[in-house]
């Protein structure tokens, strides 16, 4: 009996790891959409950049991984700030989306040129390489570590947004930018920081998640679509709990769901989004934007 449940438990664990990875990426996107009201179509490219960075810098040691994370954060901060400068003079949603789309195109072209278009799988730090076995069902140690890392990351995000002064300022800027400015907050700076942080989260997710969703052509639009689904379900902005819930839901659907009903594997998420939209009222969806 127990042995019947093991495959499901292992699959569910996979769903958790996958969901947490998506949470980190989608949280970044939610921040950008929520604070800037910009649909960042290059967000998937940020993940991809992080994942490639992991491949170049990872050398099978924890130090290598740490270096990759730090390098990613530094690069993302610069890129995010640059992007905010690029987006500043543009007014409409469509133009901003077009510019980020263009950046996405150029990035994926450059990645293919630099990597030869291979789907890479970076070496995992030696002590995290290998798998644990549950009644013959393996589960990679790295993914488990990722879960262990991502939970405090999610908790940290939650605490930062809910408890810290930075989070208070962020929420104030999302709720009412003009009033936030009248309180002495520099809304322009908060926006730049939000964009940089959002990009940073995507890049960090890429660095840490490269062994889970490895870098390769097409991964950018795939990650973008998945994180969009999370943001649509969980709402743009600063509601970490809702985002985490929907990210885990997506992770579960992508794991347990596809194993149960393979026929629906490719549609299930889209159908969920549409069902949610039908159920949820117009007003809520608009205010989420």
Residues 70-89 contacting another protein, CB under 8 A? 86, 89
Q: Does 245 bind another protein (CB under 8 A)?
A: no
Q: Give the count of residues interacting with another protein (CB under 8 A).
A: 109
Q: 260, 219, 236: which is closest to 26 by C-alpha?
A: 236
**Which of 71, 128, 181, 242 lies at the binding interface for another protein (CB under 8 A)?**
181
The stretch among 62-70, 150-158, 193-201, 205-213 that binds another protein (CB under 8 A) is 205-213
**Calpha distance 145→240 (Å, rounded):** 22
SS3 content of the chain, % helix, strand, coil (to 5): 80, 5, 20
**Calpha distance 150→110 (Å, rounded):** 29
**Which of 64, 172, 242, 245 lies at the binding interface for another protein (CB under 8 A)?**
172
Give the shortest CB-120-to-another protein separation in angstroms: 5
* Residues in contact with another protein, shown as a per-residue x/- string from 128 to 167 under the rule CB under 8 A: ---x-x--xxxxx--x---------------------x--
**Which of 232, 240, 247, 249 lies at the binding interface for another protein (CB under 8 A)?**
232
Whether the Cβ atoms of residue 123 and residue 185 lie closer than 8 Å to each other: no
**Which of 120, 128, 160, 242 lies at the binding interface for another protein (CB under 8 A)?**
120
**Which of 200, 203, 247, 288 lies at the binding interface for another protein (CB under 8 A)?**
288
User: Within positions 100 to 119, which residues make up the interface with another protein, using CB under 8 A?
Assistant: 101-110, 112, 116-119
**Calpha distance 15→239 (Å, rounded):** 21
Q: Measure CA of the first residue to CA of the last residue in the chain; give whole Å.
A: 47
Nearer to another protein (CB atom), residue 200 or residue 224: 224
Q: 9, 5, 29, 4: which is closest to 246 by C-alpha?
A: 29
**Which of 122, 198, 206, 209 lies at the binding interface for another protein (CB under 8 A)?**
122
User: Within positions 263 to 282, which residues make up the interface with another protein, using CB under 8 A?
Assistant: 263, 265-267, 270-271, 273-274, 277-278, 280-282
**Calpha distance 251→247 (Å, rounded):** 6
**Which of 70, 149, 183, 241 lies at the binding interface for another protein (CB under 8 A)?**
183
The stretch among 66-74, 152-160, 196-204, 209-217 that binds another protein (CB under 8 A) is 209-217
* Residues in contact with another protein, shown as a per-residue x/- string from 7 to 46 under the rule CB under 8 A: xx-xx--x---x--------------x---xxx-------
Write down the H helix ranges in 140-267. Answer: 141-163, 165-175, 177-182, 187-209, 219-234, 240-252, 258-260
Q: 159, 228, 171: which is closest to 35 by C-alpha?
A: 171
Q: Is 55 exposed, middle or buried (0-12, 13-18, 19+ CB in 10 A)?
A: buried
């Amino acid at each position: 009996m127990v042995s019947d449940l093991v495959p499901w438990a292992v699959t569910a664990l996979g769903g958790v790891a996958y969901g947490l990875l998506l949470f980190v990426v989608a949280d970044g996107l939610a921040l950008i959409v929520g604070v800037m009201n910009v649909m960042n179509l290059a967000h998937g490219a940020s993940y991809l950049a992080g994942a490639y960075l992991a491949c170049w810098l990872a050398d099978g040691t924890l130090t290598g991984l740490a270096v990759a994370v730090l390098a990613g954060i530094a690069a993302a901060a610069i890129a995010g700030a640059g992007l905010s400068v690029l987006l500043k003079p543009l007014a409409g949603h469509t133009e901003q989306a077009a510019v980020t789309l263009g950046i996405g195109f150029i990035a994926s072209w450059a990645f293919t040129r630099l990597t030869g278009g291979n789907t890479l799988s970076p070496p995992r730090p030696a002590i995290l390489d290998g798998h644990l076995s549950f009644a013959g069902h393996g589960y990679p140690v790295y993914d488990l570590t990722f879960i262990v890392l991502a939970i405090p990351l999610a908790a940290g995000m939650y605490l930062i947004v809910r408890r810290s002064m930075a989070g208070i300022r962020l929420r104030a800027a999302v709720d009412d930018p003009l009033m936030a400015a009248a309180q002495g907050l520099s809304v322009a700076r908060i926006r730049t920081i939000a964009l940089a942080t959002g990009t940073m989260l995507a890049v960090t997710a890429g660095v840490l998640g490269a062994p889970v969703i490895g870098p390769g052509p097409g991964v950018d639009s795939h990650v973008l679509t998945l994180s969009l689904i999370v943001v649509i379900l969980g709402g743009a902005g600063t509601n970490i709990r809702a985002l985490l819930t929907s990210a885990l839901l997506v992770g579960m659907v992508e794991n347990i769901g596809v194993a149960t009903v393979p026929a629906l594997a490719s549609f299930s998420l889209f159908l969920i989004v549409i069902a949610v939209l039908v159920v949820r009222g117009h007003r809520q969806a608009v205010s989420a934007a």
